[in-house]
Amino acid sequence: MPKVFDFIVVGAGIVGLTVAAELLKRHPSARLGVLEKESGVGLHASGRNSGVMHCGIYYGSDTFKAKVCASGARRMIEFARTEGIAVKQCGKVILATAEEQLPTVDKLMRNARENDIRAERIDSQQLGELEPCAAKGPAAIYCPDTAVIDSAAIVSRLKENLARSGVEFIFDCHVNGVHGKGQLQTSHGKIGYGYLVNCAGAYADVLARHFGLGEDYALVPFKGIYWKLSKASNSKVKANIYPVPDVSTPFLGVHFTRVISGEVYVGPTAIPAFGRENYGIFQGIDLNEALNIGLLLAGMYLRNESNFRNLAHCEMGKYRKSNFLAEARQLLPTLEAADMVPTNKAGIRPQLVNVKTRKLEMDYILVATDDSMHVLNAISPAFTSGFVFAERIVDQIELR
């Protein structure tokens, strides 16, 4: 007899774990299973991020991200403190390094007012007190509520709490398809469900297509690689230094983050990758998938959608340390090549492209059938938003 659950959550990253916790909270007697293709929780985006709890200043008030980011960060910080997990509310500065960025500075401050986020424009003296080595440009914003957290400890504790409450985790479990209504075909055999929530991250679009959904979207993975400040240079950054972002793309640009361990990472890039798990140069490349992604990238490049050609040129160039250093120096002018040391830290951002509009999707996307909900494009700030994002997802399930 196949296993049967009232609810199945596919994916044991932060979104899957917080959705499972919210379902259990509302349906404490339900049989709940979490399926994960890896051997443990949070082994991809959730465990590879920098642990920054974003304040929400980047997102317009009409976006899904804005509705869950600031409140989600407060909830995540509260959870960490309650559970005794390391968290530090250290703030961050956002630097404008050119006059043409000033309209974006105004937009970010407008976002802060509309989303009830603490943020202030600061002068050079205030910037110097916060980050003495930071570039002095035409404007800067200080966001005091930005925090850093031990993200690996968060996902581990969520798993422990859920398992203790009776949630069954099935690891090394690949979903191969849907076998009739209410039944999955997996590497562990058939598994039945009353309702399925797809939180499969970089593979959420693949699972959605088994349900006849997600045909309007294609996935382009972007690789984030990092350098790290040497021990001798670590003190050049006090907390977090970010650039004013290009609002036409969903990427924040190379920045400096003092993570919970005290190390300072520089990055990430947003280099088009050839696999959903292409963390190294060749690691994680599947030839069929690489061909499909390559064709999609070539089309975007030729049509120059979302200014993709310039993005690709700039980002691919960051494989060279000199180019990476040049961008980092815009924020930290005294930085030298010797200050940056290699690190194996790398991540993949599974970014959706709308094949009809031919634009990068900037927000979270929920699509559903009568017995399933699919969380697509669960990109940053999904970790920050976790608990409140999960509430909104389960609200939508219950509305149906």
Q: What is the DSSP string of 290-332?
A: HHHHHHHHHHHHHHTGGGHHHHHHHHHGGGSHHHHHHHHHTT-
Contacts of 68 (CB under 8 A, 6+ apart): 385, 388, 389, 392
Q: What is the pLDDT of residues 22-66, one digit of tens each?
A: 999 999 999 999 999 999 999 999 999 889 999 999 999 999 999
Question: Measured in Å, how far apart are the chain's first and last C-alpha atoms?
Answer: 29
| 330: pLDDT strictly greater than 90 | yes
Tokens, residue 125: 């003296």
Contacts of 228 (CB under 8 A, 6+ apart): 263, 264, 265, 266, 340, 341, 342, 343, 345
Q: What is the pLDDT of residue 28?
A: 97
Pick 282 or 369 by higher pLDDT: 369
| 332: pLDDT strictly greater than 90 | yes
Tokens, residue 14: 């932060």
Tokens, residue 219: 């996935």
| 312: pLDDT strictly greater than 80 | no
- Which residues share a beta bridge with 141? 94, 121
Portions of the chain given CATH number 3.50.50.60: 1-87+148-216+363-400
Q: How far apart are CA 276 and CA 274, in angstroms?
A: 7
Q: What is the pLDDT of residue 308?
A: 78
Q: Taking a C-beta distance cutoff of 8 angstroms, is the pair 18, 159 a contact? A: no
Q: How far apart are CA 42 and CA 329, in angstroms?
A: 32
CA 79 to chain centre: 19
| Average pLDDT along the chain | 93
Specify the CATH architecture of the domain 1-87+148-216+363-400: 3-Layer(bba) Sandwich (3.50)
Portions of the chain given CATH number 3.30.9: 218-355
Q: What is the pLDDT of residues 12-21, one digit of tens each?
A: 999 999 999 9
| 307: pLDDT strictly greater than 80 | no
Instruction: Specify the CATH number for 218-355; select among 3.10.510, 3.30.9, 2.60.120, 3.30.160.
Output: 3.30.9
Q: What is the pLDDT of residues 56-108, one digit of tens each?
A: 999 999 999 999 999 999 999 999 999 999 999 999 999 999 999 999 999 99
User: Considering the entire predicted model, what is its pTM?
Assistant: 0.94
| 249: pLDDT strictly greater than 80 | no
| 247: pLDDT strictly greater than 90 | no
Residue with tokens 């790398």, as numbered in its chain: 346
